[in-house]
């Protein structure tokens, strides 16, 4: 268990999202693989059934619901320093302990809740990330615009984004994710670094990084 209470200034040198060629489950030489069902998919999803379901049903689909975006923002923050599959497998427990990521319910959580969650082995027991989830909920409630409108205002125009054909064409950080990170930090949110925000943009369809040839492209 990590007991750090401060946010790292740089993300750990591990995958920031499923679609990261540094991941041990990814073949760096193959962007797309064909599964036993005959469908071509981004290769990062090939080695795990839950990754494949996530790739097929969620990753890259437009998500504009503010509650769902708050959940994704929190889970991407918990992922920093870990693999995404670690978070994905724990997502049901995260949803349980954080009241379905209802912003008002999370914002009302107390230090007693933090101490209780630090003992819950079903989630990531990192004090800084737990407290950030709560303080981020309070920051979201204080926004003068809906969270979905704020976040999507930083999405690049679809015409400005070319679908990748190789791992070398998938960035870790972009000007848009850097700008989004800066704005969220200005508004009091934590664990929202530029790399984390680009992973969120990929996951929520703000950019479409399904490789050319993937059936979801």
Q: Work out the end-to-end distance of the chain between its first and last CA atoms, rounded to an integer number of angstroms.
A: 38
Q: Is 115 a catalytic residue?
A: no
Residue in 44, 54, 167, 198 annotated catalytic: 54
Q: Residues near 38 by Cβ (< 8 Å), separated by ≥ 6?
A: none
Residue in 84, 152, 167, 198 annotated catalytic: 84
Entry field: residues in the chain: 217
CB 1 within 8 A of CB 118: yes
Nearest residue to 199 (alpha-carbon basis) of 9, 6, 12, 4: 12
Q: Is 76 a catalytic residue?
A: yes
Residue in 59, 76, 167, 176 annotated catalytic: 76
Q: Is 54 a catalytic residue?
A: yes
Which residues are known to be catalytic? 54, 76, 84
């Amino acid at each position: 268990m990590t007991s750090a209470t401060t946010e790292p200034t740089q993300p750990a040198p591990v995958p920031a999202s499923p679609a990261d060629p540094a991941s041990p489950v990814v073949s760096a030489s193959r962007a797309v693989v064909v599964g036993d069902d005959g469908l071509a998919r981004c290769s990062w999803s090939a080695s795990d059934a839950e990754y494949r379901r996530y790739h097929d049903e969620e990753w890259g689909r437009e998500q504009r619901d503010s509650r769902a975006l708050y959940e994704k923002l929190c889970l991407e923050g918990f992922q920093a320093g870990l693999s995404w599959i670690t978070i994905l497998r724990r997502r049901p427990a995260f949803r349980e302990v954080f009241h379905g990521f209802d912003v008002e319910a999370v914002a009302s959580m107390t230090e007693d809740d933090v101490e209780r969650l630090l003992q819950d082995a079903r989630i990531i027991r990192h004090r800084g990330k737990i407290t950030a989830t709560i303080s981020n909920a309070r920051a979201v409630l204080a926004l003068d615009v809906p969270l979905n409108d704020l976040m999507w205002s930083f999405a690049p125009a679809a015409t400005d984004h070319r679908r990748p054909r190789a791992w070398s064409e998938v960035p870790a950080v972009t000007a848009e994710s850097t700008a989004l990170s800066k704005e969220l930090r200005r508004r009091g949110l934590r664990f929202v670094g530029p790399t984390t925000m680009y992973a969120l943009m990929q996951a929520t369809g703000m950019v479409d990084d399904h490789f050319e040839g993937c059936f979801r492209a």
